[in-house]
Amino acid sequence: MEEYGTIRIKLEELIEQAGISKNKLSHKAEMQRSQINNYCNNKITRLDTEVLARICTVLNCSISDLLEFIPPDDNTKA
């Protein structure tokens, strides 16, 4: 699948910039702490738009602040 590039979730950086704890984010965004950890560690395979909207609302950021498209490496194209 990496031949098409990947999506990187930048939640860890946004949490640091906002100066908010993961516990406070989980409470305000109505998410499980484990779910936040999975987003922070890029262990999510299916993005939930409702969850993304809650994160953006709580952290006062845009979707482009949260998600980054990493194009495929030119060496992987056949």
Return the domain boundaries, the chain: 2-73
- State the Cα–Cα distance between residues 57 and 50, nearest whole angstrom: 11
The Cβ-side half-sphere exposure at 69, using a 13 Å CA radius, reads 7
Cβ atoms of 62 and 2 within 8 Å: the answer is: no
How confident is the model over 3-52, as pLDDT tens digits?
899 999 999 999 999 999 999 999 999 999 999 999 999 999 899 999 99
Cα of 58 vs its chain's centroid, Å: 13
Residue in the structure block whose two tokens are 């299916």: 46
Q: What number is the average pLDDT over the span 46-62?
A: 97
Return the CATH number of 2-73, one of 1.10.260.40, 3.40.640.10, 1.50.10.10, 3.40.930.10.
1.10.260.40
